[in-house]
Structure 1
Amino acid sequence: MEKKRVSIRDLAAILGVTPSTISRALNGQGNISEKRREQITKLAKEHGYRPNHIAKSMVANKTFNIGLLLPEFTHNYFNKILAGIESVTYQKGYQLLICTSDELQEKEEKSCLTFLDARVDGILATAGNSSDDLRHFENVLKDGTPLVLLDRICEDLNTSYVVTDDFEGSFEAVQYLIDSGCSNILHIKGPDYISTSFNRKLGYTEALKKNGMEYREEFVLKGDQKAFEKDLNAVLDKHPIDGVFAFSDYYAYDVIQILNHRAVKIPDEISIIGYADEPLAQYISPQLSTVKQPAYEIGKHAAEILFKIIEEKTDEIITKQLKTTLVLRGTTKGT
């Protein structure tokens, strides 16, 4: 026979107090002595009491669920963001409903509908599809559900966000390449449809401009296209490239593989800097110089902002930009 689940009323009957006293004690509320609170907490543990979240949700008019939409989980960067978010949601007593978009419009739209149907108390999202159609996020805001974007900005959405200073991080990386003697620097850019690609390319461009170096369109290659290897080899055949700044560590790794095939000495002949500081940056040889993003802190700050909006019921738009750090390793000179 299935064991009956212990309720607040059962605990109240055992101690001869009202159910509301039990509830206030377990939720840290009300004017209850510490001795009585400890007594109730101990009794609840002894009897295996678990709160009825459905009843709790009805009373509080909350589901105690947060929707989280990420592009994918294959990169350590997004795993760290998740860890930062969970450090806050766990402490607050909330559960995460997690969806991934795989950078697809249809999956983003479906995920947002799933969150709204589940009546989540708020949504954290990284916009990742190639379309300019943001109606699914606009519908979230129209529904009155708090939304905080992280990692990437959608300028057409009037909502809170947490990002890193990709412009400054990229500028610093390219400036280091220039200071270490590089004069023909390639940029391997990211997908055109995300803000991080634009900002990192802008940092590259501005560093060249500040140092009186010409911006050359043929020195900017797309890292996410099938013809990348062919295009990179074509540039290397025609120009004395001595530096590479890549949108990501994975793009930088692809460059290293191609250079190794060409027997190019790194960093003596060509220096390379990636972006994000993924684990592979330290596992390859030589170890990859990169721009470190504070992924855990991005997730943590985004969750804190979301709870501020939820708990204070504020319409305030809160934005936070975190600094990056240049990490120098074996693929650059002077390290």
Structure 2
Amino acid sequence: MKKGKATIHDIAEKLNITASTVSRALNDNPRISENTKKQVLKMAKQLNYQPNHIASALRSGKSKLIGVLVPTANRNFFSSVVRGIEDIANELDYKVIISQSYEDPEKEIQTVDALLNARVDGIIASIGKNTENFDHFKKILEKGIPLVLFDRITNELEVSQVVIDDYYGAYETTKHLIEQGCRRIAHFTSPKKINIYRERLRGYEDAIRDANIPFDPELIEESDMQLEDGRSSMENIINKGIEFDAVFSSSDYAVMGALQVLREHKISVPNQVKLAGFGNEPFTSFTAPPITTVDQKSIPMGRVTAETFFELLKSEDKKSATHKTVLKPELIIRESSLKTN
């Protein structure tokens, strides 16, 4: 065997059979005997044969690969969604290629191109918070390739979408804080044009108004919602002397930053200020006190997203098969937001 990657021709030569027989055996063709399949698989393993997905896709029209594009994989939410996607994909003998945009629009564009060049059968994506032009996603649709968006979506694309009810999650969280006696609830949000933050802000505002509490724009802090942003938002409110008795953050990371600053200022949580976040990141249950948050049902979201993708993949009319699925989040109440005696 010549140096380099093993091919089906190398396997065929070793077993003294044709390359087409090897190909059929590797694809579990019923015309090939079980004994031949076993010999082919054994030799493929010995030669460390790796299938050429692009060549296979060109021959069959299917690569059995799905591209999954997320802003970042080091967040529990996104990694759990990917796990849910893989649960369904693996059952159907599909493999998942995971790529990260790191919230960079240029990287997002390059990644979409790379996935298309890899001949994926379709793409599942969550849009980066800095993305404002969606031409790269439109290119996917123009090529007739299935595209499903989850969590971070846009109404500029007519595609299937899977989201949670961010409005409901925010409304219920704000309502809970009001029921605990809070009247001056600060809200951390993002100025980015992303559906999730708009809906969470809307839920917060409606809960405030429904409780006949005057809406105060001074209590709204906009940032990128990272831990350091939560710290600076909390410092801003304290330094301005704005009266507040609670913080509801659209991000667990930002509320963690707020908790750090409140401790540094010797402000007691939840005695003086109550806290609630959004996302149910694992660290929220280990802080002192544990932080109230909203569970986004990430694994079920991944499974539903994958199911939506495969329905779209087998549909004759891709456009008419598009639909939006809205999952219900769950408010997880912990010590950080509870009224004390």
- Aligning the two structures, in what range does the TM-score lie when normalised by the shorter sequence? 0.7 to 0.9
Structure 1 range deviating more: 184-193 or 251-260: 184-193
**Structure 2 portions without partners, runs of 5+:** none
Cα contact 1:147–1:159 (8 A) shared by 2: yes
Could you say which residue in structure 2 is the equivalent of 1:261? 264
Equivalences for residues 254-333 of structure 1 within 5 A = 254-315=257-318, 316-333=321-338
CA offsets 1:45-95 (integer angstroms, 9 cap, x no match): 444466844554233212222222111123111111121122222333333
Deviates more, 1:138-147 or 1:51-60: 51-60
Matched, 1:79 2:79: yes
- C-alpha distance after superposition, 1:127-174 (max 9, x if no partner): 114242111111111111111111112011100111111000111111
Tell me whether 1:245 sits opposite 2:278 in the alignment: no
Kept in 2: contact 1:223–1:251 (CA 8 A): no
The verdict on how the C-alpha distance between 1:259 and 1:293 changes in structure 2, with shifts beyond 3 A counting, is same
C-alpha contact 2:73 2:79 (8 A) present in aligned 1: yes
Helix, strand or coil for the counterpart of 2:161?
Answer: strand
2:26–2:41 CA contact under 8 A, matched in 1? no
Contact kept? 2:270, 2:339, Cα under 8 Å: no
Q: Is the 8 A contact 1:275 1:291 kept in 2?
A: yes
SS at match of 1:80: helix
2:21 is the counterpart of 1:19 = yes
| 1:241-268 residue CA offsets vs partner (Å, 9 max, x unmatched) | 1121111111110111111111111111
Partner of 2:149: 149
1:33-72 matches, within 5 Å, as: 37=34, 39=35, 41-48=37-44, 52-54=51-53, 56-72=56-72
Closer/same/farther in 2, CA of residues 282 and 162 from structure 1, 3 Å limit:
same
Number of equivalenced pairs: 325
Name the CA distance, whole Å, in 2 between partners of 1:51 and 1:230. Answer: 55
Q: CA deviation at 1:189?
A: 0.9
Asked if structure 2 preserves the Cα contact closer than 8 Å seen for 1:294 and 1:324, the reply is yes
Secondary structure class of the residue paired with 2:305: helix
For 1:232, the equivalent position in structure 2 comes to 237
In structure 1, what is the Cα distance between the partners aligned to 2:242 and 2:52?
Answer: 66
One-letter amino acid matched to 2:151:
D
SS at match of 2:278: strand
Where does 1:98-177 land on structure 2 (aligned, <5 Å)?
98-177=98-177
CA RMSD of aligned residues (A): 2.8
Q: Given the two structures, how large is their TM-score scaled by the length of structure 2? A: 0.85
Moved more, 166-175 or 310-319: 310-319
CA positional deviation for 1:193: 2.0
Question: How far 1:199 moved relative to its partner?
Answer: 0.5
| Identity rate, percent | 29
1:251 counterpart letter in structure 2: A
Structure 1 counterpart of 2:150, which letter? L
Per the alignment, do residues 66 and 165 of structure 1 end up closer, same or farther by CA in structure 2, a change over 3 Å counting?
Answer: same
Show the 5 A alignment for 1:175-190. 175-190=175-190
What SS does the corresponding residue of 1:182 show, helix, strand or coil?
coil
* Bigger mean CA offset, 96-105 vs 270-279: 96-105
Moved more, 80-89 or 4-13: 4-13
Task: Compare 41-50 and 148-157 and name the one that shifted more.
Answer: 41-50
Q: Which amino acid aligns with 1:238?
A: I
Question: Greater shift after overlay, 148-157 or 310-319?
Answer: 310-319
Distance 1:295 1:188 in 2: 22
Instruction: Provide the C-alpha distance between the structure 1 equivalents of 2:144 and 2:263, rounded to a whole number of angstroms.
Output: 53
Counterpart residue type for residue 301 of structure 2? I
Separation in 1 of the partners of 2:13 and 2:304? Answer: 40
Shift of 1:26: 6.0
Indicate conservation of the 8 Å contact 1:166/1:324, yes or no: yes
| Structure 1 runs not aligned, ≥5 long | none
